[in-house]
């Protein structure tokens, strides 16, 4: 995990967005990954964007995952989902994600909507603590990664956890080929 200085996330709530802290507080005791395997590390908020973060903290792009919020309409109702893909790939928003949302067209959700609906900072949105009605589409390559770095809900920290933990989140669906090579 590069040069990150990690510690158990539930001991550093100051490094988490409120919805993320709440999700960790409700982490099931019988989850396949123990809550203490969810780690957090402070970072420089100006280095939160993936490429800058990976370069500054010596984290490989293949260990870094991005969580993007996508939206589409069906019968006048906007449907949202999160897509979690490795930084070496790009989410197939208008193919795989669109079909999972069951909409005619999907796109990245507007920044203001994503921030308001998640209670997280743009550039720090994470799959942990998202609205419970949203599906979380996790690319199978993320789940297969022994340890992956994702956002923490804020730009001044990152979460490190086993990729398999993301498959166990409420509403998570592991999707083959959710992403394409970047």
68-106, pLDDT tens digit by residue? 999 999 999 999 999 999 999 999 999 999 999 999 999
Contacts (Cβ under 8 Å, ≥6 apart) of 117: 69, 80, 109, 131
Mean pLDDT (the chain) is 95
Tell me the pTM: 0.95
DSSP 64: B
CB 38 within 8 A of CB 151: no
139-156, pLDDT tens digit by residue? 999 999 999 999 999 999
Q: Place 116 in a pLDDT band, splitting at 50, 70 and 90.
A: very high
Phi, psi of 99 (to 5 degrees): -65, -40
Architecture of the structural domain at 7-181: Alpha-Beta Complex (3.90)
- Mean pLDDT within 44-55: 95
What is residue 29's predicted lDDT score, i.e. its pLDDT? 87
Q: Taking 80 as the threshold, does the pLDDT of residue 182 lie above it?
A: no
Q: Place 30 in a pLDDT band, splitting at 50, 70 and 90.
A: confident
């Amino acid at each position: 995990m590069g040069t990150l200085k990690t510690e158990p996330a539930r001991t550093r709530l100051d490094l988490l967005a409120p919805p993320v802290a709440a999700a960790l507080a409700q982490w099931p005791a019988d989850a396949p990954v123990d809550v203490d395997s969810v780690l957090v590390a402070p970072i420089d908020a100006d280095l939160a964007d993936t490429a800058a973060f990976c370069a500054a903290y010596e984290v490989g792009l293949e260990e870094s995952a991005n969580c993007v919020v996508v939206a589409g309409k069906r019968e006048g109702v906007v449907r949202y989902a999160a897509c979690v893909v490795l930084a070496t790939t790009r989410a197939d928003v208008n193919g795989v994600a669109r079909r999972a949302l069951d909409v005619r067209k999907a796109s990245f959700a507007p920044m203001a909507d994503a921030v308001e609906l998640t209670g997280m900072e743009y550039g720090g949105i994470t799959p942990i603590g998202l609205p419970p009605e949203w599906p979380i589409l996790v690319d199978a390559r993320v789940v297969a990664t022994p340890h992956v770095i994702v956002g923490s809900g804020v730009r001044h920290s990152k979460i490190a956890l086993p990729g398999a933990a993301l498959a166990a989140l409420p509403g998570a669906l592991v999707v083959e080929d959710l992403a394409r090579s970047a």
